[in-house]
Structure 1
Amino acid sequence: MTDQEDAKTKGEYVSTAPKTSVLSQGGSPTTGQAPAGKSARALEKEARKKAQKAHPWRDNIEAVAISIVTIVLFKYFVLEAYKIPTGSMQPTLMGNEETGIYDRVIVDKFSYHYRDPERFEIAVFKYPLDSSKNFIKRIVGMPGERLFLQGGDAWIQPKGEEPRVLRRPRAIQDAQLRRIDTHGEWEGKRRPESWTLASTDDGDTLRTKGNGRMTYPQEFESIRDGYLDGYPAGVIGKISEKNKRSKWNDVTDLRVAAEVTAAPGVSAVTFILHEGDRRFRFTLRGPEATGDTRAISATGPGFEGESTSEAVAYQLKAGDSVEVEVQNLNDLLEFRVDGELVASLEIPPAISPNEARHVMESRITVDVADDAGGGTSIEDLKIWRDIFYTETSGRNPVTEWNIPEDAYLVLGDNSQDSSDGRDWSLAQFQLMDGDGGIVRGNSREMQAINPRTGQMVSHPESNPRYVPQQVGAKQIFLRDELGELHVLDPQTTERLPDEHFSFVPRELIRGRAVVVVWPLAPQHDVYRLKWVR
């Protein structure tokens, strides 16, 4: 057997081509034969490695290209981070120039590829009046229904049904309620001298002996929609209430929470919510209580005598502490003890649909029945108010809508300072030359004072913007619905009436906000990492 035949039997390949001289990468001559101890396979493997090393730039470009494509696809279809630029969703989402706090949120884009948006989700969408911009608001109105604002509440009327106040799940309530800083300002005309009141950041603490009651706020006052309610304590002093319509409206949708401890001799601790002439009583029976007092009772206009819950009032044991929470939200009274719902009561609306709103006193009273003077401790006493959807925002606001089948109505949580479906409108200009078409764009006219002349001129962010000034303008700058800038000649352009445009079409909704990941601002005692509700 020849050497060649012997090699073949061992599975190796031996070239039968003529021996030629080649140059290695180092420049030394080699032959076509495999060096001693190396097979042809090993040589091929080394050759492949050398070829790969010969084109490292190609591998790097491929890796970068693949990474870019992956990131773009991930950003477009799955998740993207957004910065909150304005305060329309405060304090749920912060975007405030005065404090320098701008929340960063992660937006889930994947879900909306497979399902439609749901009510109360906070959605990111292309602004219908300027699709070059992204907005973020809460979805309130759904396709095909009638929705209107009245008495601070959103009312809905699905097809074939009667109007009703829109109620929110518990998690959404928790996200939208705003803590009121009571500053210990409880009125105590019937408060014995043995009662003491102290106030801290965690709430008010009331210690009692004997019968008595206290009411918040002071006499002739009412709980109203303060603009700064609900903000972190560390930033309140830095945010201005000017021109924010602060405390214009009485708010009767409230929640009260406290830790209650009663000594022997106490027969009842009652929290009373005032809604105009109506009274809602939430009673805890004390250690000395007898009888079957109901947990919730309601009296006043709209009730025939007294309306009560089926549940009997919870009875305190002497010396034991319980967490108590009572609330009147969207015409539903609820009473919780240690986090468990112990009683609820449906109540009729204080005003009927389409009835003109009137001023309604809103107050809270704590009443203690303690003939024996045993004493109670009411600690961490806190009050929250609900969002009050204002019926005035911008020029010529709209507060009633019939929502198209393929669109949604969105509103900002910061109702006093939000541009949303209540006031969105399109500025329209008829072109009198050329093809005579109409140019439309977001109507957002603002004015500023020229520091040199002292005259009122169009604000740089105004749309349309008149230059050099509104009276006798030589040019009109208008950014249209697609974000493109047009320069119009006032001599060949006619301003038409603005057109209301309140809805967000389904195809413009990009995703839903799921989590706040930034900022952390220790100087303001602000740590914004949280789920978005």
Structure 2
Amino acid sequence: MTPEGPGVETSTAAPPEASRHSLLRRFIETAILFISMIAIVRAIALEPFGVPTGSMAHTLVGNHKACHCPRCGYPVVVGSASNGTSKSTRDPYRRASCPNCGESPLRFDAVRECIGDRLLVDKNVFELRKPRRWEVAVFRCPYDGNKPYVKRIVGLPGETVLLRNGDLVINNALVRKSIDECRAVRVELFDNNYQPADRGWRQRWRTLPQEPTSADWQSAMLNVADAFVNRSELQVDEQNADAWLIYRHWLLDENQEAHLRDDFGYNGGDLPHRLNTVHDFAIEFDLQAERSNGSVEVALWDGHDEICAILSVDSARRTQLVHARTGEVLSASESHLRSGQTHRVEYYFFDRRAALVIDGRQVLTCDLPEVGHRQPVSRPFRLRGRDVSLTIRNFRLFRDIHYGATGGDCRNGVYEPWPLGPDEYFLLGDNSANSQDSRFWTDAGVPERYFMGKPLLLHQPSQWTHVRNWEIECIDLKRVRWIR
């Protein structure tokens, strides 16, 4: 027994060597526990998946290079030659162009290639419920050695699938997307925030002072819109009230107006298929009205019909969707804009469905019947204010995915309807022009037993960045997101 008393201290501390062994043991135990938890989660719940190709661009990108356009500053992403259906030795970087202003060729010689996106896949979701239309799925392709593929589901068991005029037709009925589905697949055509340094976008914005019909404003000679355009802002005041501000697709280098097509900057140049004219458009912008008791009129044209959204400002009048040619009111709501406030406006005309969204809430929608022939479109949008002053910022123009033939063995569901079996799904890539999918396979349908899961999170998008004198590849935090 050891005596204790004043001035006598006892110590229970372990010897230094024993303490080091204890810390090392704790570290090893913690590491083993952590690795075991990851293994368990991966085995029963989540699994990482790499995306090497760009068949799902822009939703998911494969190996690629990125730069900013030297003329307008737009961020350009171009996929590597290993993408999609092309088996040629083409160099997509050699003839890459800016999808916003058309600047070509872009210089990618000194740009390093990034690896494709990496996903976390929920392995159990399809054990609990059936796959749904328009959601993204990972599956083992039975027509390519059971390799893992990622595509978007468009056709469900027992349905008949046809891709007609760029749209999806199921059982001979046009399929229309919800607002969230439209946001997930829309392809950006133009962003007014990215301005050519020398001239801006004076050539794309034009005005027409008189009241045109739907047919007239598509072919009329347009006036310069300098009074409306203040660099990236569009402004309507008392001096130019009631005049229509019109967007036209203008090629800067060719100095001419051109029809909008399904060109996709991600694919670079020299894809072996002809471009298709597109007809389904959407716009998005921030709008601030300074005077009350007026209205804002926003119209979209799809080559057959023009639907005008009339947004009431601090007025008892209703917000409406109106057929521009006939004047018929197709849908109406008591919602209105408030003067002095900035509102986020989205307006879609996809799949022959017009839908108006204000501040994230869908306020109006109407469906039009499917039509056959539609005219090529170069002027998809026009706007004016009635008894209001407007400022529009962050204007962007989009198109819908255009599904169709891309040459070669692309046949299933393209030229005639394709019937799916009782357990089969029809899957397509978002990059329709460069995707190996149900259109090409020996049998278009993929049985449900081949499904691996649903992508849940894009957790490792990559980018190259400079740290002092070093260039390193790291996670692009701006692109980390949940996948719809």
Q: Which interval holds the TM-score relative to the shorter structure?
A: 0.5 to 0.7
Distance 1:279 1:242 in 2: 34
1:150–1:193 Cα change, 3 Å: closer
Where 2:380 maps in the other structure, the secondary structure is strand
Report the equivalent of 1:227: 264
User: 1:68: how far off?
Assistant: 8.6
Report the equivalent of 1:75: 42
> Any residues of structure 2 matched to 1:494-533 within 5 Å, and which?
500-521=442-463, 523=465, 527-533=478-484
Report the equivalent of 1:419: 436
Which of the residues 210, 235, 252 maps onto 2:240?
210
When structure 1 is superposed on structure 2, of 210-219 and 71-80 the one drifting more is 71-80
The AA in structure 2 aligned to 1:401 is W
1:177–1:294 Cα change, 3 Å: same
Q: Over residues 434-470 of structure 1, what are the superposed CA-to-partner deviations in whole Å (9 max), with x where a residue is unaligned?
A: xxxxxxxxxxxxxxxxxxxxxxxxxxxxxxxxxxxxx
How many residue pairs get aligned? The number is 368
Where 1:363 maps in the other structure, the secondary structure is coil
User: 1:316: how far off?
Assistant: 4.5
Where 1:172 maps in the other structure, the secondary structure is helix
Report the equivalent of 1:325: 346
Which of the residues 348, 351, 361 maps onto 2:377?
361
User: 1:242: how far off?
Assistant: 2.6
Which of the residues 130, 137, 141 maps onto 1:127?
141
CA RMSD of aligned residues (A): 3.4
Distance 1:205 1:306 in 2: 27
Which of the residues 359, 372, 384 maps onto 1:338?
359
Distance 1:420 1:193 in 2: 45
Do residues 118 (structure 1) and 149 (structure 2) align?
no
Larger radius of gyration: 1
Say if 1:205 and 1:380, in contact at 8 Å, map to a contact too: no
Distance 1:269 1:377 in 2: 11
When structure 1 is superposed on structure 2, of 78-87 and 522-531 the one drifting more is 522-531
> Any residues of structure 2 matched to 1:191-202 within 5 Å, and which?
195-200=227-232
Say if 2:320 and 2:333, in contact at 8 Å, map to a contact too: yes
Report the equivalent of 2:322: 297
Q: Over residues 398-434 of structure 1, what are the superposed CA-to-partner deviations in whole Å (9 max), with x where a residue is unaligned?
A: 223100111111110110110101112xxxxxxxxxx
Report the equivalent of 1:392: 406
The AA in structure 2 aligned to 1:528 is R
Which of the residues 150, 173, 179 maps onto 1:164?
173
Distance 1:223 1:406 in 2: 38
User: 1:364: how far off?
Assistant: 3.0
Distance 1:378 1:387 in 2: 26
Unpaired stretches in structure 2, ≥5 consecutive residues: 1-27, 66-112, 193-200, 209-222, 251-256, 466-472
The AA in structure 2 aligned to 1:366 is R
1:308–1:415 Cα change, 3 Å: same
Say if 2:302 and 2:374, in contact at 8 Å, map to a contact too: no
Say if 2:140 and 2:147, in contact at 8 Å, map to a contact too: yes
Say if 2:302 and 2:380, in contact at 8 Å, map to a contact too: no
User: 1:215: how far off?
Assistant: 1.9
Report the equivalent of 1:463: none
Unpaired stretches in structure 1, ≥5 consecutive residues: 1-59, 158-162, 229-235, 352-356, 425-499
Distance 2:380 2:298 in 1: 7
Which of the residues 370, 393, 396 maps onto 1:379?
393
When structure 1 is superposed on structure 2, of 124-133 and 309-318 the one drifting more is 309-318
Say if 2:425 and 2:446, in contact at 8 Å, map to a contact too: yes
Where 1:188 maps in the other structure, the secondary structure is strand
Distance 2:423 2:337 in 1: 53
Distance 2:287 2:128 in 1: 48
Report the equivalent of 2:16: none
User: 1:154: how far off?
Assistant: 0.8
1:359–1:366 Cα change, 3 Å: closer
User: 1:178: how far off?
Assistant: 1.7
User: 1:148: how far off?
Assistant: 0.6
User: 1:260: how far off?
Assistant: 2.1
User: 1:198: how far off?
Assistant: 4.3
Distance 2:426 2:401 in 1: 17
Higher relative contact order (CA 8 A, sep 6+): 2
Say if 1:83 and 1:103, in contact at 8 Å, map to a contact too: yes
Do residues 402 (structure 1) and 404 (structure 2) align?
no
Distance 1:76 1:193 in 2: 60
Distance 2:383 2:132 in 1: 42
Q: What's the TM-score once normalised by structure 1's chain length?
A: 0.61
The AA in structure 1 aligned to 2:176 is R
User: 1:268: how far off?
Assistant: 3.3
Q: What's the TM-score once normalised by structure 2's chain length?
A: 0.67
Say if 1:261 and 1:321, in contact at 8 Å, map to a contact too: yes
1:418–1:206 Cα change, 3 Å: farther
1:501–1:327 Cα change, 3 Å: same
Distance 2:324 2:433 in 1: 32
Do residues 102 (structure 1) and 116 (structure 2) align?
yes
Report the equivalent of 1:187: 205
Distance 2:344 2:354 in 1: 17
Do residues 307 (structure 1) and 323 (structure 2) align?
no
Which of the residues 240, 244, 268 maps onto 2:268?
240
User: 1:132: how far off?
Assistant: 4.2
The AA in structure 2 aligned to 1:423 is F
1:284–1:396 Cα change, 3 Å: closer
